[in-house]
Amino acid sequence: MNPIFFEIGTLSIRWYGVMAALGFLTASILLEKNRRFVDGLTKDQCGTMMIITLIAGILGARIYHVIEFFHEDGFDKDPVTIFYIHRGGLVFYGGFILAFISLVIYTLKNKLDTIRILDIFVPSLTAAHAFGRTGCFLNGCCHGAVTDSFWGVPAPIGTKLRLAGAMVHPVQLVEAAENVILCIVFCLLLRKGAKRGTVVSAYLMTYGVLRFFNEMLRVDEKYILNLTGAQCISLLLIITGAGLLFYSLHREKKNACIHNHK
């Protein structure tokens, strides 16, 4: 795992940045293709939403990391390093939450169909996440626990494990592969005419379950009921997804009844 893509003198380009850029590009292309599933959604609005979610995602991911590792990563001793995001230190769930909130606010403010837009954002999110997790692997961060399994990879030197040469779970690649599969499935569901709200509901529940079990391969700190922070958020995502699915199907049924009575 070499975090450097290439170097020119003192300038170095890291794989994490390259993967993030590719993820954003892929996400933008998918959103543009899927905007046809939302009536009246313009190309400019898609571009604006992508920029908003990108900025909010990076900001939220960094805030979550700084809060969780404030003392461990020495941010209290050297506050300037809080802004060194080129070194890594972004937490997906932090970015997801702030980007989600920002997207909802934008759609409500512009009187757009919030739930349907969340539906078409799901393939873009999973694609970007897949690239991001690949970047994590190349950067040597977010790795798994020590393992003697045949699929173990050498722990990156200088990690919190302090175990140069130890074999760890490549959980980043596992999650990247999961997101690729989710991206394909949700693109197909949209093309097959998935009902409003079902795609985002399915994503929240499915990713929540996957991430909950992926955490068992990692070494994150435990909090409530011996669960990691990500596992707690995963449970909330599963509950939210189930609630949103119930609401969407109930509303669909109610609208169908009203239409039939007309």
Of 107, 120, 126, the C-alpha closest to 36 is 120
CB-based contacts of 220, cutoff 8 Å, min separation 6: 228, 229, 230
CB 135 within 8 A of CB 38: no
CA distances from residue 94 to 52, 73, 99, 100, 241 in whole angstroms, order as listed? 15, 17, 9, 10, 18
Cα–Cα distance between 12 and 86 in angstroms, integer? 10
Question: Tens-digit pLDDT profile for the chain (262 aa)?
Answer: 667 777 887 777 888 889 999 999 999 999 999 999 999 999 999 999 999 999 999 999 989 888 887 877 778 888 887 887 766 678 999 999 999 999 999 999 999 999 999 999 999 999 999 999 999 888 888 888 889 888 898 877 655 555 667 889 999 999 999 999 999 999 999 999 999 999 999 999 999 999 999 999 998 888 888 999 999 999 999 999 999 999 988 877 666 555 555 5
Q: E-assigned strands of the chain?
A: 4-8, 11-14, 153-154, 167-168
**Global confidence as pTM:** 0.90
Which phi and psi (to 5°) does residue 52 adopt?
Answer: -60, -50
